[in-house]
Amino acid sequence: MVQAASAGLGRDLALAGRTPADFALCTALSYPPGAGIGWHIDNRAFGPTVMSLSLGAAARLQLRRRDDADAPIGATLFELDLAPRSLFVLAGEVRRSWQHRIPPVNGQRYSLTVRSAAES
């Protein structure tokens, strides 16, 4: 996953000064039909890049600026359809200042997310 992100985005952006070996933290999650993930920013205990592989049912990634948390429903600023086997990377400004969510999906969905630890 780290190699694919580096190939698509370039090492500088995808790795943000890290090496592929730094991305040793992996979370595997299973979401039953009808489940989603609410608005959030990944914990700052993790490094500057988050990479997630979406498997199973198609989903939609939605993003909004963190300071728009009180915006009305429908105020999402960016949406991206995630076909099965889609890899998305949150880095740079999006990682620091944007919230993201996955609205409920119609089928079984899985995600594999890799992160590095934040620099101490």
Q: Domain of residue 57: give its range.
A: 2-117
The pLDDT, as a whole number, for residue 62 is 93
Q: 18-22, 46-50, 87-91: which has the minimum mean pLDDT?
A: 18-22
For range 47-58, the mean pLDDT: 92
Residue 30 in this model has a pLDDT that exceeds 80: yes
Residue 73 in this model has a pLDDT that exceeds 60: no
Residue 12 in this model has a pLDDT that exceeds 80: no
Residue 32 in this model has a pLDDT that exceeds 60: yes
d(CA 28, CA 111): 6
Q: Which residues pair with 65 in a beta bridge?
A: 98
Structural domains of the chain, count: 1
SS3 per-residue string spanning 40-55: ECCCCCEEEEEEEEEE
What is the domain-level CATH number for residue 93? 2.60.120.1520
For range 45-59, the mean pLDDT: 91
| Of 117 and 52, more confident | 52
> What's the mean pLDDT when you consider all of the chain?
86
> Which has the closest alpha carbon to 52: 70, 40, 65, 67?
40
